[in-house]
Structure 1
């Protein structure tokens, strides 16, 4: 089931998919976009046991402000005992994640089904389903 909301900012859409909060980024994620995105990102990642997917499939550009958003989301979700998945297919963004080492702490997945399925598999393995 997919529950779409209106865009909170031109660069971010937030929706629910199979018990996950999906943060779908769009366009250029730079310092200006980061200011717009930050309140929604904090709201989605600040809850305990949050299950969050960061979807970067629709971005065209990501600078250090965007990287800071990704790392902030990771830190907040893990601090609350939640799960975070990253979906990214854009070659330049994948290269930036690799150069910065962010791909080692947040390995990018190729599609949403893989991200949503990976969370469900880890829950089944831990016996919480």
Structure 2
């Protein structure tokens, strides 16, 4: 049994480790119903001091403002606890939403897990 307090996931989320980071792999349609299911898992992962988190959106088919709130929530919780948050995203429409809202500036998306880990840490500014 693992000592990791992060729950294993839901139908919208798979949690796993990659190169010393906790990866939250979101899947499917990320809307308000999905967000309600994801929040407890996101909070468990981002609530630890110094947490090193990657949010992977490559398997997301739909992403609305509920998804943006999840990303902003994760970012704020990680920054408040001196952690690190990286983002993986390749879907053109989701990338567009991230750019239009300014979140891509604060949480630069990378095309893969390894590329995300190679990026310098995201800025700590506000939108």
TM-score range, shorter chain: 0.7 to 0.9
Which residue number in structure 2 is paired with residue 74 of structure 1? Answer: 75
Higher Cα radius of gyration: 1
Structure 1 residue ranges, 4+ long, deviating more than 4 angstroms after superposition: none
Which residue number in structure 2 is paired with residue 112 of structure 1? Answer: 113
Q: Structure 2 stretches of 5 or more lacking a match?
A: 1-5, 122-127
Which whole-Å CA distance do the structure 2 matches of 1:20 and 1:99 have between them?
A: 28
Of the structure 1 ranges 107-116 and 15-24, higher mean CA displacement relative to structure 2 is found in 107-116
- Superposition RMSD in Å: 1.7
Q: TM-score, normalised by structure 2?
A: 0.86
Task: Show CA shifts across 1:61-98 (max 9, x none).
Answer: 10101100000000000110011100000000000001
Q: TM-score, normalised by structure 1?
A: 0.85
Which whole-Å CA distance do the structure 2 matches of 1:95 and 1:118 have between them?
A: 20
Which whole-Å CA distance do the structure 1 matches of 2:103 and 2:35 have between them?
A: 18
Which whole-Å CA distance do the structure 1 matches of 2:61 and 2:17 have between them?
A: 23
Which whole-Å CA distance do the structure 1 matches of 2:48 and 2:84 have between them?
A: 11
1:56-71 correspondence runs (5 A): 56-71=57-72
Which residue number in structure 1 is paired with residue 10 of structure 2? Answer: 9
Which residue number in structure 1 is paired with residue 88 of structure 2? Answer: 87
Which residue number in structure 2 is paired with residue 42 of structure 1? Answer: 43
The number of residues matched between the two structures is 116
Contact 1:6 1:13 in 2 (8 A): no
